[in-house]
Structure 1
Amino acid sequence: MKITVNLYYTGQNGSARAFVKEMVESGVVDAIRNEDGNERYEYFFSADDPETVMLIDQWRDQAAIDAHHASWMMEKLTALREKYDLHMRVERFTPIENEAKDERFIRS
Structure 2
Amino acid sequence: MAITVNIYYHGTNGNARKFAQEMVDRGIVDAIRAEKGNITYAYFFPMEDEETVLLIDSWTDQKALDIHHDSPMMQQIMELRDAYDLHMQVERYISDTNDIPSKDQQFIKV
TM-score, reference length from structure 1: 0.95
SS across alignment from 1:24:
helix
Unaligned stretches of 5+ in structure 2?
Answer: none
Q: 2:12 maps to what in 1?
A: 12
CA deviation map 1:61-97 (0-9, x unaligned): 0000000000011000000000000000111111236
Report SS of the residue matched to 1:68. helix
More helix by share: 1
**Structure 2 counterpart of 1:98, one-letter code:** D
SS at match of 1:46: coil
Q: Which residue of 1 aligns with 2:66?
A: 66
What amino acid is the match of 1:41?
Y
* Superposed displacement of residue 105, structure 1: 2.0
Instruction: Give the SS at the match of 1:99.
Output: coil
Tell me the residue number matched to 2:90.
90
How much has 1:48 moved relative to structure 2?
Answer: 0.6
Structure-1 residue corresponding to 2:106: 104
The letter of the residue matching 1:84 is: Y
Give the paired residue count: 108
| Identity within the alignment, % | 55
Corresponding residue for residue 42 of structure 1: 42
List per-residue Cα deviations over 1:1-47 (Å, max 9, x = no partner): 31111110010000000001110111110110000100110000110
**Alignment RMSD (CA, Å):** 1.1
Aligned-partner SS, 2:106: helix
Structure 2: distance between partners of 1:25 and 1:58: 21
Deviation, 1:106, is 1.9
